Amino acid sequence: MKLLLKLLLTCFKFNVHNTAMDTVICKLEQRFAKHAEICSDFTCLDPRQFSKPLPTTALFKLSKVLGLENTSILREEFLDFTKKWDKLKLNLPEVYESYRSDEENELPELDLECLQKMS
């Protein structure tokens, strides 16, 4: 009898746990579904996606957030940017180099001995 009670109690706990988990998962899905469109828009901004064609419905939510009447302006600018991306990204290290040479004298000396002791 005691064992059966224990088994029933365990079963009850599992059921409560599963119901709670189902509710949590359902709520998460609802939340994500609400933001799926803006998440997809952000995915388009990933340079790894630039080579893929931009879906006709893309950037709708982002345009709305930016207060634009429609997607045409953002779409045009975005496509122009993606076309130039290969050249733009090549300039980045050079830009950093030019900043470095300007600031070189202002940078504090690194205490290498101290760093080696710490590692």
Ligand X SMILES: *[C@@H]1O[C@H](CO)[C@@H](O)[C@H](O)[C@H]1NC(C)=O
**Per CB under 6 A, which region of 12-20, 28-36, 69-77, 108-116 contacts ligand X?**
69-77
Judged by CB under 6 A, the residue of 10, 23, 70, 98 near ligand X is: 70
Binding of ligand X by 57 (CB under 6 A): no
Judged by CB under 6 A, the residue of 69, 94, 106, 109 near ligand X is: 69
> What distance, in Å, lies between the first and last C-alpha atoms of the chain?
62
Judged by CB under 6 A, the residue of 10, 57, 72, 98 near ligand X is: 72
Residue 50, burial from CB neighbour count under 10 angstroms (0-12, 13-18, 19+): middle
Q: Cβ of residue 40: shortest distance to ligand X, in angstroms?
A: 21
Distances (CA, A) of 35 to 55, 70, 106, 116: 17, 19, 46, 47
